[in-house]
Amino acid sequence: MKKELFSDFLIKYAEIGIKGRNRYMFEDALVARIKSSLENIDGSFRVYKTPGRIFVSAESEFDFDEVVDALSHVFGIVGICPVVRLEKDTPESLYESVVSYMKEMYGDELCAKGATGESCVKILKERGLNAESPKDALSNDNFGKVKWQEALPSINRGKDDTISFKIFARRESRNFPLDSMELNVEVGEAVLNAFPGLKVDVHHPEMIVYVEIRDKIYLYSEILPGPGGMPVGTGGHAMLLLSGGIDSPVAGYMMAKRGVTIDAVYFHAPPYTSERALQKVVDLAKIISKYTGPINMHVINFTDIQLAIYEKCPHDELTIIMRRYMMRIAEHLAEKSGALALVTGESVGQVASQTLASLVCTNEVCSLPVLRPLICFDKQDIVEISEKIGTYETSILPFEDCCTIFVAKHPVTKPLRSVIEKHEHNLDEVIDDLLEKAYETDRVIEIR
């Protein structure tokens, strides 16, 4: 692709398009997210809406790959199309622009695959013009001198050595003399005249050139994939229980993909977990914030609660009871910050505290819904996503987190709610005090 041709990007979004009267809210959120993702890269950009489309226009020098990378982290985008923007003029000047776009963008490739054809060279030579190779047929002197009808008889239209294309025109504004169908035909003919070796295939073309007539004319032929999903900020607000492991950052990413704004809580247990373990979680939050946008991360000192459980409750129930208090604390923070759900990285059966029986025990202590986007994912699937979003390398750094420090050799896998509740009563005398103290340690780190 000739990246230097482009200074505009057309942003395609799918699901938002089917929203009804709320649609503008989704579009505005997407525009806002695009703007903030472009803030971190060099260059100044204009991001604006037209009916059904969002555009990004570079207004200064910029790096194509950087822009595409930034946009490919914005949920709600399904396609990023580098686009050439033209002023509206006569149909003829449009044909010319499309042809020169094709030539600049794909000239070498088309000529290598015979789209200009040896036959063109032959015809040019017969006319006494200077052409030795298909490449010469593309030169400014010769380009477009041979019409496709003349070249047709001598062009080998075998299956493999020509490229099929189609023009996909849309006239969104009526003040252009040709309608969409007429444009398809006329622009197609102009392209064929320039590249006699191409063939038209409207069903399975190898190449589609899009021509959109709006306030301006937009040409594009490449659609780079976006991450899909919904713009963050349109799906409400949830509290993620973030640890240093592989799963919870992925869970946060998946919720953000559905448009949910994420806040996070990390349970710190000094001196059993180190400052580097905390730093690791901050680093993970930083990585997913490229997708989720800014995250407010609460850090709660959990040591004393953990030690109390250790001393007063059966050891094999330690993790379950600990998880119950984590849920309670997370819910407390969620309610304070207006979050409507808790999010965890749990997956059924992955560890003892994630069997269904265990999930029942940890679930019942809070009234907010607990969302578990990874609930049916295998570890390998989760690892693959974490590699894709770039958290894996950080997640596997060997720092202990608070879930592992006192873990029993054989924790319960089928805890009974009644039994757990009974043992939790052993904490009655101290727990309110300890929770209060834990809330006081709440420290918010803004990740952006």
Query: In the complex with another protein, which residue's Cβ is closer, 158 or 398?
Result: 398
Q: CA-CA distance, 29 to 32, in Å (whole number)?
A: 5
Q: Decide: is 406 part of the binding site for another protein (CB under 8 A).
A: yes
CB under 8 A: which stretch of 50-58, 309-317, 421-429, 430-438 binds another protein?
Answer: 309-317
At its nearest, how many Å lie between another protein and the CB of residue 307?
6
CA angle at 324 for the pair 322 and 328, rounded to the nearest 5°: 115
Indicate if the alpha-carbon torsion angle 353, 354, 360, 363 is positive or negative: positive
Within 10 angstroms of residue 36's Cβ, the number of other Cβ atoms is 16
At its nearest, how many Å lie between another protein and the CB of residue 268?
11
Q: 341 vs 255, 262, 264, 296, CA distance in Å?
A: 11, 10, 12, 15
Query: In the complex with another protein, which residue's Cβ is closer, 225 or 270?
Result: 270
Q: Cite the DSSP H helix spans in 197-315.
A: 247-257, 275-292, 303-312
At its nearest, how many Å lie between another protein and the CB of residue 310?
6
Q: Work out which of 407, 419, 444, 445 binds another protein, going by CB under 8 A.
A: 407
At its nearest, how many Å lie between another protein and the CB of residue 314?
11
Query: In the complex with another protein, which residue's Cβ is closer, 274 or 337?
Result: 274
Q: Decide: is 396 part of the binding site for another protein (CB under 8 A).
A: no
Q: CA-CA distance, 281 to 445, in Å (whole number)?
A: 11
At its nearest, how many Å lie between another protein and the CB of residue 313?
12
Is residue 372 a contact partner of residue 346, using CB atoms and an 8 Å limit? yes
At its nearest, how many Å lie between another protein and the CB of residue 396?
12
Put the strands of the sheet holding 341-343 in their side by side order. 370-371, 341-343, 237-241, 261-268, 295-301, 443-447
Q: Decide: is 408 part of the binding site for another protein (CB under 8 A).
A: yes
Q: Decide: is 307 part of the binding site for another protein (CB under 8 A).
A: yes
Q: Decide: is 355 part of the binding site for another protein (CB under 8 A).
A: no
Is residue 283 a contact partner of residue 244, using CB atoms and an 8 Å limit? no
CB under 8 A: which stretch of 98-106, 132-140, 149-157, 404-412 binds another protein?
Answer: 404-412
CB under 8 A: which stretch of 197-205, 285-293, 310-318, 354-362 binds another protein?
Answer: 310-318
At its nearest, how many Å lie between another protein and the CB of residue 290?
25
Within 255-284, the residues that bind another protein by CB under 8 A are 270-275
Amino acid at 139: S
Is residue 278 a contact partner of residue 382, using CB atoms and an 8 Å limit? no
CB under 8 A: which stretch of 61-69, 165-173, 241-249, 304-312 binds another protein?
Answer: 304-312
Query: In the complex with another protein, which residue's Cβ is closer, 145 or 315?
Result: 315
Q: CA-CA distance, 251 to 343, in Å (whole number)?
A: 7
Q: 441 vs 210, 394, 438, 444, CA distance in Å?
A: 57, 26, 5, 10
Q: CA-CA distance, 298 to 385, in Å (whole number)?
A: 25
Site size toward another protein, by CB under 8 A:
17
The contact set with another protein (CB under 8 A) reads: 270-275, 307, 310-311, 315, 398, 400, 405-409
